[in-house]
Amino acid sequence: MPERIDDLSLANGAPAAAPRRTGLPDGWPVLALFGAFPIWWALGLSSLIWIIMAVPMLAWLLARGRVRVPKGFGLWLAFLFWMLLSATQLDEARRWYAFSYRAVLYLSMTVMFVYVFNLPRSSVPARKIVLALTLFWATVIGFGFAALAAPNLRLTTPASLLLPASIAANPFVQDLFAARLAQVQTFIGYALPRPAAPFTYTNEWGGAVGLLTPMALAGLGMLRSYLTRNMVRLLLVASLVPIVISANRGLWVGLGAGLVYAAVRVALRGNARALVAILGFLAVIAALVTLTPLERYVSDRLAHQHSNERRESLSTQAITGALERPLLGYGGPRESPDLVNAPEIGTHGQVYLVLFSQGIPGLAFFLGWWLWALWVSHRGATGPPLWCHVMLLIGVLEFLYYDMMPTQLHLMMVVAAVAWREQEAQAAAARRRSGTETPGDSRDQMTEAR
């Protein structure tokens, strides 16, 4: 079926060149990325699949010849430019490996945003992407339960076997290409199996769950099967078990704040049904935490604030380092001179990573883009548009807790693109209903990139 020009109209009104047909459905890289993630994890590719899948996305965009980007996208492009410019501050050859990995991730998430934003809504509606993210959420929660059942399971992946010996010996590389279900830690006085799969670290698992849960709530309203809807409802309640045992405070704070915010939004709009559903979900969460053995894990986690002092010290050093090099930062994280065996400065939160690595202008561009995306998406009143907005809000809150790469920022880019597409479609529909749409209106919200 030919692409609908009204879905892919360009700033100058000229139709886009249709990509050459490959026999694969539109949007297949996104669907394959999320739907087949257990396979990527078992192959040892969970940290690289974002980059790999960006290649066919980029090929699709290049085949179009012209692509659209929303207003405000220049903020993100400015950040990319500043990020690349900050490489001039790298002082050792070994730091180029980590910088290059992060730089390619930033570029791949850029491609992913533009790709999803330009997908035709006729063949790849928001429903298809939201349900793919719902499936991904169910996968991540399933891995969470597997981690509790077999926390010490670790696989030797095909990707790790293909690495040169000199590279495979690096502990960071070993973590990236291995496949383990959990990180077993004892900081609260006993062995705690913190879910990590299908990612590398437990913080990545927690950050992803915080972002994906609103998309599962959005998908719940899109499922047509009564049985499937009830399965998702049961899994939403059951997901509290790995969420609590993971001891991820960033997940607890971000998801809790996001759900309360959603309840306030729907209450202000008088949507009684949605409000009752959200409040009911929050009540179930509160009951399970206070009336079951899960309360022990919450109490023990709050009683052992082992990482607060170290986190505060790293935050202070990141800010101090940024003030010493405010323009371009250090290009990437550095070892802490004060804390032995601690994470590098800038790796304990995306805000601190960007501030320390790219300086104050880099952080301004980075936060400017995400705050703009959050503002644009705030018009969503109910359903998927609202949950996309809530997801982005949770992501911004997680900036203070987690290094958001590779998974979380890619997820946020996909959802931001969906939210922008839906806002554009709703605005166009409103203009058609009022009879005020003109040929120039379709250009008001868009700019063109070659």
Please compute the mean of the pLDDT values over residues 139-160 and round it to a whole number: 93
Q: Is the pLDDT of residue 35 over 70?
A: yes
Name the residue with higher pLDDT: 5 or 321: 321
CA distance 168 to 183: 20
Query: What type of residue sits at position 12?
Result: N
What is the average pLDDT across 233-259? 91
Question: Measured between alpha carbons, how far is 150 from 379 in angstroms, rounded to an integer?
Answer: 44
Strands, DSSP E only, in 197-280?
Answer: none
* Residue 201 DSSP symbol: S
With b meaning 16 or more CB within 10 Å and e meaning fewer, what string describes 415-436? Answer: bbbbbbbbbbbebbeeeeeeee
Q: So what's the pLDDT on residue 303?
A: 65
Q: Is 48 helix (H, G, I), strand (E, B) or coil?
A: coil
Give the residue-averaged pLDDT of 171-197: 84
Taking Cα atoms as reference points, which of 116, 25, 39 lies closest to residue 412? Answer: 116
Q: What 3-state class would DSSP assign to 121?
A: coil
Q: Can you tell me whether residue 182 is helix, strand or coil?
A: strand
More confident site: 373 or 348: 373
Q: What is the pLDDT of residue 447?
A: 43
CA distance 348 to 366: 17
Phi and psi angles of residue 345, each rounded to the nearest 5 degrees, phi first: -60, 125
Compute the average pLDDT of residues 14-39.
Answer: 78
Cβ-proximal residues to 318 (8 Å cutoff; 6+ apart), any chain: 345, 346, 352, 355, 356
Distance CA 256, CA 273 (A): 20
DSSP state of 211: H
Q: What is the pLDDT of residues 270-318, one digit of tens each?
A: 777 778 888 888 888 888 778 777 777 777 676 666 666 777 888 888 8
Give pLDDT, residue 98. 87
How many angstroms separate the CA atoms of 278 and 280, rounded? 5
Please report the pLDDT score of residue 68 as a whole number: 93
CA distance 109 to 131: 20
DSSP string computed for 312-343: HHHHHHHHHHHHHSTTTTTSS-B--SSSTTPP
- 149: closest CA among 36, 242, 238? 242
Q: Are 366 and 329 in contact, with CB atoms under 8 Å apart? A: no
Contact 377, 419 (CB under 8 A): yes
pLDDT of the residue at 412 = 97
Q: Judge whether residue 7 has pLDDT over 50.
A: no
**Among all chains, which residue has been given the structure tokens 């886009």?**
16
User: What CA dihedral angle connects 89, 373, 368 and 402, to 10 degrees?
Assistant: -50
Phi and psi at residue 179, to the nearest 5° = -130, 100
CA distance 411 to 414: 5
Prior bond to 19 cis, omega within 30? no
Question: What percentage of the chain reaches a pLDDT higher than 90?
Answer: 52
pLDDT score at 437:
55
Is residue 170 over pLDDT 80?
A: no
What is the Cα 99 distance to its own chain's centre? 20
The band of 64, judged by pLDDT with boundaries at 50, 70 and 90, is: confident
Least Cα distance to 228 among 220, 237, 238 occurs for: 220
154 φ/ψ sector (left φ>0, alpha ψ -120 to 50, else beta): beta
Q: Could you give the CA distance from residue 203 to residue 251 in angstroms, rounded to a whole number?
A: 9
**What is the per-residue pLDDT across 373-422, written as a single tens digit (0 to 9) for each?**
999 998 876 788 899 999 999 999 999 988 999 999 999 999 999 999 98
Contact between 148 and 241 (Cβ < 8 Å): yes
With beta carbons less than 8 A apart as the criterion, state whether 121 and 425 touch: yes
Q: How many other C-beta atoms lie within 10 A of the C-beta of residue 204? A: 24
User: Looking at residues 194-214, what average pLDDT do you find?
Assistant: 94
Q: What is the pTM of this model?
A: 0.89
List Cα–Cα distances, 74 to 110, 365, 418, in angstroms: 12, 9, 18
Burial 309-321, CB ≥16 within 10 A → b, else e: ebbebbbebbeeb
Q: CB within 8 A of 279, min separation 6: which ones?
A: 263
